[in-house]
Every structure is written in C-alpha cells, then in structure tokens.
C-alpha cells in the first residue's frame, strides 16, 4: 500500500450544484460529527452531483461504488490476488476509504445483495472499524472517513429495500427535483441553452412526472433535461432532441410516446 495515492480520488474541479434548501449545511454538520448519511430521491435529481459537490467543498477524496447484484463483500473489502511474487492483499474501495480518510459513496445501495451490506455495519456506529477476516486485520477508520449511501425509494419493494437494521445506522436526507424556476436555471447552466427553451423543457418534464403511475414508472429527470439541452445547443432540432433525450429513454409504449410528442408540440409551438 506504500505506493497508493488517495489524492487520485480528489475532485479537482468544482461540480456545479444549486442548493434547494439547507442540504449543504446539514451534510456538513453530519460530516463534522462523523455520522453516516443516506440520500433518498428519484433518478437524476442530483444526488450524486450533490455528494461530489460536498466532497469538493470539504476538500476530501471520494471513492464511488455503483452497486449491483453481483457485488460481493470481497468486492467492497478486498481480497488476496496472485501475482509473479505470490499472493498479495488488495484493499477494496470501502477499505481504502476507511484506511485513508475518504468519503465512500455507495450509489444505488439497494441493488447490492443484503448479505453484502452487512459488512458496512461496523463502520456506521460508534466502532467505526472494519474487520478484514481473511487478512486478520482490524482497520480503524481514519477520522476523515465517511460512509454515504443513496437510492431511489420510488423503485423499492419488499424484495428491493434496505433492512431497518441498515437504515437506522444512517442519518437521512430526502432529495427531489428542484422547483421549476431553479430547475430551468440548472438546465441553462449545464447545457448552455437560453432560459425560454429551458423553461419549456422543464414544463414538459413536469407533464411526464404527472404521468407517473399512469403509464410511466418515472418522469423525465433533470439529468435528461440537461441531455436535451446539450443536444439543442449543438444544433439538433427541439423535437428531435426531446424525442432522443426525454421520450425514448423513459417509455417503450407507442401510445404514451404519441401522447408525449403531442405535449412537446403544444409546449414548443
């Protein structure tokens, strides 16, 4: 581990983020108190961007893990590997963060298997430690270490949810899409389009969000609005950009697509 450089995980350029409320202050308080944080909110509403923004603001490295059902405890903690000199231990992202004082961000935590998540428990209470059973080492978390998890509660079910024994180890923050005016300003900043088009894109996004539960699982996210804005700014027509970035990604239903295209025409004509 002597050649490991934690600085490679630093955010060099400030990520653009517009605060909706007092989330920056709340997160800072949790970090200073060495408390783990759970971020809940819909897809593409800015959860990951917020964590990156806070890592930059606090001047701390951040190690991000995109969780999926194939992730094992060893993937998070580490394992022995064979090389030309025999076997060597390689820390996983969770161990690296705990050992070197980084923020460990587990994105979409519910996608990981429940048995994998048990390994984080000892890092989220007063112990702040991680036992590497295979190596016979107890890692005491660095004072700067913090564990952050995120997920979209709108997609959760009995089969895809965190156990209470895990949830109650975290402080929690609820995120949602920004209000229309702020969301439009975000799209302007991120994509470079003018305020009038951004406002109309946001209006369309709200129309799709009103269809959630009535043909759509989820409406157009702020992320998708930024994609549409980037396409428009590059010279793509508004209708083609909206179809590519806002219609095709969220539904395969031909009837709903027709309805959404009618809404696009009504808003932009």
Answer whether 246's CB lies under 8 Å from 224's CB: yes
Answer whether 139's CB lies under 8 Å from 132's CB: yes
Q: Is 130 a residue whose pLDDT tops 60?
A: yes
6 Cα distance to chain centroid: 21
**pLDDT cut 90: percent of the chain above it:** 83
Q: Among 65-69, 109-113, 158-162, whose mean pLDDT is lowest?
A: 158-162
Q: Is 101 a residue whose pLDDT tops 80?
A: yes
Annotate 21-84 with DSSP letters as a single string.
Answer: SSHHHHHHHHHHTT--EEEE--TTSSHHHHHHHHHHHHT--EEEEE--TT--HHHHHEEEEEET
CATH fold label, 6-174: Rossmann fold (3.40.50)
Using DSSP's 3-state secondary structure scheme, residue 16 falls into: coil
Q: Is 157 a residue whose pLDDT tops 80?
A: no
What's the chain's average pLDDT?
93
Q: Is 193 a residue whose pLDDT tops 70?
A: yes
The one-character DSSP state at 245 is I
- Tens digits of per-residue pLDDT, 35-73? 999 999 999 999 999 999 999 999 999 999 999 989 999
Torsion, CA 85, CA 86, CA 92, CA 98, rounded to 10: -80
Query: Of 57, 65, 50, nearest to 105 (Cα)?
Result: 65
Indicate the pLDDT class of residue 213, thresholds 50, 70 and 90. Answer: confident
Indicate the pLDDT class of residue 1, thresholds 50, 70 and 90. Answer: very low
pLDDT at 156 (0 to 100):
54
Indicate the pLDDT class of residue 3, thresholds 50, 70 and 90. Answer: low
Indicate the pLDDT class of residue 135, thresholds 50, 70 and 90. Answer: very high
Query: Of 136, 130, 129, nearest to 89 (Cα)?
Result: 136
Tokens encoding 159: 């089969």
Number of neighbours of residue 194 by Cβ within 10 angstroms: 12
Indicate the pLDDT class of residue 155, thresholds 50, 70 and 90. Answer: low
Average pLDDT of 86-93? 93
Q: Is 89 a residue whose pLDDT tops 50?
A: yes
Top pLDDT among 180 and 1 is at 180
Query: Of 44, 56, 57, 46, nearest to 21 (Cα)?
Result: 46
Using DSSP's 3-state secondary structure scheme, residue 78 falls into: strand
Average pLDDT of 197-222? 94
Q: How far apart are CA 179 and CA 182, in angstroms?
A: 6
**pLDDT cut 70: percent of the chain above it:** 97
Average pLDDT of 28-40? 97
Q: Is 159 a residue whose pLDDT tops 60?
A: no
- Tens digits of per-residue pLDDT, 226-253? 999 999 999 999 999 999 999 999 999 9
Full-model pTM: 0.91
Number of neighbours of residue 222 by Cβ within 10 angstroms: 23
Indicate the pLDDT class of residue 217, thresholds 50, 70 and 90. Answer: confident
Q: How far apart are CA 113 and CA 256, in angstroms?
A: 34
């Amino acid at each position: 581990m002597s050649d490991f450089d934690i600085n490679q995980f630093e955010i060099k350029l400030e990520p653009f983020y517009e605060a909706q409320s007092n989330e920056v202050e709340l997160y800072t308080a949790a970090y200073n108190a060495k408390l783990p944080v759970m971020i809940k909110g819909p897809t593409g509403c800015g959860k990951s961007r917020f964590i990156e923004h806070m890592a930059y603001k606090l001047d701390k490295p951040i190690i991000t893990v995109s969780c999926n059902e194939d992730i094992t405890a060893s993937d998070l903690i580490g394992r022995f590997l064979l090389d030309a000199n025999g076997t060597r231990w390689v820390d996983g992202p969770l161990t690296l963060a705990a050992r070197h004082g980084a923020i460990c961000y587990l994105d979409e935590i519910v996608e990981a298997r429940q048995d994998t998540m048990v390994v984080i428990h000892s890092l989220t209470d007063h112990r702040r430690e991680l036992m590497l059973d295979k190596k016979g080492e107890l890692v005491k978390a660095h004072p700067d270490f913090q564990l952050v998890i995120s997920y979209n509660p709108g997609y959760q079910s009995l089969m895809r949810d965190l156990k209470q024994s895990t949830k109650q180890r975290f402080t929690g923050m609820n995120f949602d899409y920004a209000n229309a005016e702020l969301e439009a300003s975000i799209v302007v900043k991120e994509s470079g389009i003018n305020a009038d088009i951004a406002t109309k894109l946001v209006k369309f996004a709200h129309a799709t969000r009103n269809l959630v539960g009535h043909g759509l699982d989820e409406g157009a996210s702020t992320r998708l609005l930024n994609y549409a804005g980037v396409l428009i700014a590059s010279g793509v027509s508004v209708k083609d950009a909206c179809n590519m970035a806002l219609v095709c990604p969220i539904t395969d239903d031909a009837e709903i697509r027709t309805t959404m295209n009618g809404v696009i025409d009504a808003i932009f004509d």
